[in-house]
Amino acid sequence: MSSHLASNPDAWAVNDYVGTARQFHANDLEWRRGVWLCRPTDAALVLGSAQDESDVDTDRARQEKIDVVRRRSGGGAVYLDSESTVWIDVVITRKDAHWVDDVSRSALWLGHVWSEVLQQFGVLDLDVYSAPILKPVVSRSVCFAGMASGEVLSAGRKVIGISQRRNRDGARFQCVLYRQWRPQEYAHLFVSQEVQDALCSLDVAEVNCEPGDVLMALAAHLG
């Protein structure tokens, strides 16, 4: 892991972490302003905190060397690997100026920051979702099938997914975008044919970018 820790407590600590998805989800990050890029060394299907593991054929996933991991934030499953995804966590404390008690609006500020970053990478026609949470049945299994406040769309297609873990210390926003959207590579791991079909039919916006460049751009726009 490489990191840049600023002496100013209001500055953002910038961290570039290399490790498995399982390891990074198990890490308790320091409760201070921080931006964490995770470069997963394996492929993983990450289930939401309350998601039923029976949604997924874990034996087949194991055979295909796709780790099935559980995160401590809500929503449906998210696929991660080193080539197709950019995964960045943003951490704030309850004393931060960005903290919002209302969980239904607490990620809006971050969505607007992401919109500024995405424009830098040529992604246009952006909108930060601010309506009530949109939860079609299949979103219980697949995160990108739903929409939550603060997530970002490009021309109506989801481009930034955000899940959130909150406790008495602060909030950890887990953000994912896809450089390459290839659901056919893992859709078959879901037991339900309905979920498989819905996943393969999702129209998700891709971003032409390098993970390290996204990390630095996000840190710069956070200020």
Architecture of the domain spanning 2-222 = 2-Layer Sandwich (3.30)
Query: Is residue 16's pLDDT more than 90?
Result: yes
Three-state secondary structure of the chain: CEEECCCCCCCCEEEEEEECHHHHHHCCCCCCCEEEEEEECCEEEEECCCCCHHHECHHHHHHCCEEEEECCCCCCEEEECCCCEEEEEEEEECCCCCCCCCCCCCCHHHHHHHHHHHHHCCCCCEEECCCCCECCHHHHCEHHHCECCCCEEECCEEEEEEEEEECCCEEEEEEEEECCCCHHHCHHHECCHHHHHHHHHCCCCECCCCHHHHHHHHHHHHC
Q: How many C-beta atoms lie closer than 10 Å to residue 54's C-beta?
A: 9
Percent of the residues in the chain that have a pLDDT greater than 70, as a whole number: 96
pLDDT of residue 10: 81
Residue 153: is its pLDDT beyond 70? yes
Q: What is the mean pLDDT of residues 13-33?
A: 95
**pLDDT tens digits, 171-219:** 999 999 999 999 999 999 999 999 999 999 999 999 999 999 999 999 9
pLDDT at 115: 98
The rounded mean pLDDT for the chain is 94
Residue 34 has pLDDT above 60, yes or no: yes
Average pLDDT on 123-134 reads 96
pLDDT grade for 3, boundaries at 50, 70 and 90? low
Confidence (pLDDT) at 1: 55
Q: How confident is the model at residue 4 (pLDDT cuts 50, 70, 90)?
A: low
Report whether pLDDT(2) > 70.
no
pLDDT over 60 (residue 7): no
Provide the residue ranges of all domains of the chain, joining segments of one domain with +.
2-222
Over range 44-49, report the average pLDDT.
95
Average pLDDT over residues 81-99: 97
Look at residue 74 and tell me whether its pLDDT is greater than 90.
no
- When pLDDT is cut at 50, 70 and 90, the band that residue 223 belongs to is confident
* The pLDDT value given to residue 199: 96
